Amino acid sequence: MATHSYLSPTGVEIAFVLVGLVVLGSGLLVVTLKNLVHAALWLIVCMGGIGIEYLLLGAEMVAWIQVLIYGGAVIVLFLFGLMLTKAPIGRTEELDVAHRWPAVLVGLGAAGTLVTVTVQAYQHTWFEPRDALALGSSEGLGTALFHYWVLPFEALSVLLLAALVGAIALSRARREDDGPDELPGEAQA
């Protein structure tokens, strides 16, 4: 394995880079498109791309869950949200804030800093994605989950329940006469 080199990429690496370019491009469209529905649809591409990247990294089970939950459920949630808030379906000029330059600066700065730090730390590191295949299968991941991570798993189920209750409580339509905006005296009068 001492023959690693940027100049002789393996097939997996080439596939990873190509899919990565798709992911980045669709991600860029997600945050820049003027049309919100289009942005949401490009988000599906992005999520799916990330699922493929998981596969290439040997995390098979995670990849399917990513496609199922993100590519399916979350995007549907977003589309529902768009519809419920009567968001403009077509292009909207007011989608971005007035002064974008600070955000661009922060984004580029973050990218620069993270890439610099990562490159400095890992420029001589190679790993074999096949080694993770055993762990990444549904059997391996299930064993790890219920062998070592049972307690966080249970805590997470409580968290999900709380989120469920919270979402219901927040989105429950309030009746007209019990709003906090009105005083009881005024209601009687």
Partner 1 sequence: MNTLAFASLLLPAFGSAVTFAGGRDLRHVKFWSTAPIALALVGTILVAISHGTGGTSTETYTIGTAGEFHIEIGTRVSGLAALTAVLVAAVALCVQSYSTSYLGGEPRYASYAALISLFTAAMLTVVYAADLIVLLIGWEVMGACSYFLIGHYWEREIARAASIKAFLMTVAGDVPFLFGLIALGVQAGSFQVHDVIASADGNALSHPGWIAALLLCGVLGKSAQFPLHSWLPDAMAGPTPISALIHAATMVAAGIYLVALLYPVFVLAPDVLVVMAVIAAITMLGAALCALAQTDVKRILAYSTVSQLAYMLGGLAVNGRSQAVYLLIVHGFFKALLFLAAGVVIHRVGSNELSRMGGLRFRMPVAYTTMTIGLLALAGVPPLSGFFGKEAVLGAAYNATGEFAVPGRIVLVAGLITAGVTAAYALRLWLGMFHGPFPDAPHEHEERIEAPQTELIPLVLLAIPAALLGVVALFGNGFSQVVGGASGESGSLLGAFAVDLWPGGMTTLLSLLFVLGGAGLVYLFWRRDPKADPAVPLLGSLRGLLLDGFRFDALIGLAVVRPVRAAAKLVAFLDENVVDAYVRGSGVGARGLGTVLRRLQTGSVQFYLTCLFLGVLVMAAVYAYVGTVS
Partner 2 sequence: MHALYPLILGALLFSLGLYGVLARRSAIAVLMALELLLNAVTLNLVAYGSILRDRYGTGQVFTLFIITVAAAETGLGLAIVLLLYRQRATADLGVQRELAEPVESFGADELAATDDYGVLR
**Which residues lie near partner 1 (CB under 8 A)?**
97, 102-103, 105-106, 109-110, 113, 116-117, 120
Q: Is 136 exposed, middle or buried (0-12, 13-18, 19+ CB in 10 A)?
A: buried
Q: Give which of partner 1, partner 2, none residue 17 binds (C-beta under 5 to 8 Å, depending on kind).
A: partner 2
Query: Hey, which residues between 78 and 137 contact partner 2 (CB under 8 A)?
Result: 78, 80-82, 84-87, 92, 94-98, 100, 102-104, 106-108, 110-111, 114-115, 118-119, 122-123, 125-129, 131-132, 135-136
Count CB-CB contacts under 10 A for residue 132: 15
In the complex with partner 2, the residue whose CB is nearer, 85 or 188, is 85
Q: Give which of partner 1, partner 2, none residue 120 binds (C-beta under 5 to 8 Å, depending on kind).
A: partner 1
Identity of the amino acid at 141: L
Find the shortest distance in angstroms from Cβ 116 to partner 2.
Answer: 9
Count CB-CB contacts under 10 A for residue 82: 16
Cα end-to-end span (Å), the chain: 85
Please tell me the distance from the alpha carbon of residue 172 to that of residue 169, in angstroms, as a whole number: 5
In the complex with partner 2, the residue whose CB is nearer, 81 or 187, is 81
For 111, phi and psi rounded to 5 degrees? -60, -45
Find the shortest distance in angstroms from Cβ 115 to partner 1.
Answer: 11
In the complex with partner 2, the residue whose CB is nearer, 160 or 187, is 160
Q: Give which of partner 2, partner 1, none residue 13 binds (C-beta under 5 to 8 Å, depending on kind).
A: partner 2
Query: Hey, which residues between 49 and 68 contact partner 2 (CB under 8 A)?
Result: 50, 53-54, 57-59, 61-62, 65-66
Report how many residues bind partner 2 under the rule CB under 8 A.
90
Residue 14, both tokens? 């080439």
Q: Concatenated DSSP letters for 47-73? A: HHHHHHHHHHTT-HHHHHHIIIIIIII
